[in-house]
Amino acid sequence: MNHHPDLSRPLLAIDTSTPAASAALRCQGIITAECHQGHAKHTEVLLPMIDRLLQAAGLNIADLGGIIISAGPGAFTGLRVGASMAAGLAAAYDTPLGCLSSLALLAAASAPTEDSTVLALMDARMRQHYAALYEYRGGSWQLAAEEGLFFAQDLPSPWLETADNVMVSGDNYVADKIAHLPQQQTVPQARDAFSALNLCRWPSPQQAIDLQYLRNEITG
C-alpha cells in the first residue's frame, strides 16, 4: 500500500476520539465538514457522512491523496472504529493513511491569525489531563513540548511562560493554574486537521498506528 500522500489531491480527515464523530474533506482548497453529536454509534454515522461529503464534491475514495485519522487521546471504542474504517478504505483503494494527535486538532481549532502558543488540554479522568504545547509560527504549527499526562496543578510552569501570547484550547478541564489565560472550550474536529498537516505522520503499511486511549482506571 502506498504511504506517500499527494497533498495536492483531495484529502479526507476523520475524528472519532469523542462522542462527536466528524469527517471533513479538503478539495481544491475548499473544506466541507460534517459532525454528529447525537447518541448514534460511530459505526452508524461515519460512512454515511463520508459518502455525503464525497458525493457533494463529485469524488470517490480513489480520488483521494490521503486519509487522516485522529490517533487520540480518545475513547477506546471510537478510536478503534475510526482507525479500522479508515484502514479498510485506505487498503482497498491503495490510499495513504496518516494520523494526527487529537491534541493537535485542539490546538489548530484556536485558528490564530498571528504567532501564538497554544496549550491543548483533554480530560484524562481521575483529575488528570492530557496536555501538549504547540506553537504557531509563520503560518504553520510546531510541537513545542511533548504530550504528557498531568494533574492540573502540575502543568509545567515553563509552558505557561514561553510566550506573551498563550491561550488554552480543549474541553472538560478545570485548572486554577491556567485560569488567567484566554481559553477556548472545544472538542477535536476533523476539519482542523488540514491546518496542521505538517504534524501528520504517514506510517508505512507495515507500521501499526499507535492509538492512545483515555483511561478507565488508575494504573500503577
Q: Does 52 share its domain with 15? A: yes
Phi, psi of 115 (to 5 degrees): -55, 130
- The residue segments making up the domain with residue 174 are 103-185
The three cell numbers locating residue 149: 499526562
As a whole number of Å, the end-to-end CA separation of the chain is 39
Q: Does 28 share its domain with 96? A: yes
Find the helix or strand (DSSP H, E) in which 164 lies. Answer: none
Number of structural domains found in the chain: 2
Q: Does 68 share its domain with 135? A: no
pLDDT tens-digit series, residues 29-77? 999 999 988 767 898 999 999 999 999 999 999 999 999 999 999 888 9
Cα–Cα–Cα angle for 178, 151, 76, rounded to 5 degrees: 110
What pLDDT score does 150 carry?
A: 87
Residue 108 belongs to domain with CATH number: 3.30.420.200
User: Is 219 among the domain residues?
Assistant: no
Strand partners, 113: none
Residue 116, C-beta contacts closer than 8 angstroms, at least 6 positions apart: 110, 135, 136, 163, 165, 166, 167
Q: Does 97 share its domain with 116? A: no
For 42, the 3-state DSSP assignment is: helix
Identify which has the larger pLDDT, 114 or 174: 114
What pTM does this model have? Answer: 0.90
pLDDT tops 50 at residue 218: no
Instruction: Give Cα separations from 151 to 74, 126, 128, 173, 174 (angstroms).
Output: 18, 9, 4, 10, 10
Q: Does 175 share its domain with 142? A: yes
Q: Which of 7-11, 98-102, 148-152 has the lowest average pLDDT?
A: 148-152
Q: Does 156 share its domain with 84? A: no
What pLDDT score does 99 carry?
A: 96
At 86, which amino acid appears? A
pLDDT tops 60 at residue 216: no
Q: Does 123 share its domain with 69? A: no
Instruction: Find the mean pLDDT for residues 158-179.
Output: 73
What pLDDT score does 219 carry?
A: 39
User: Is 3 among the domain residues?
Assistant: no
The answer to whether 22 touches 36, Cβ cutoff 8 Å, is yes
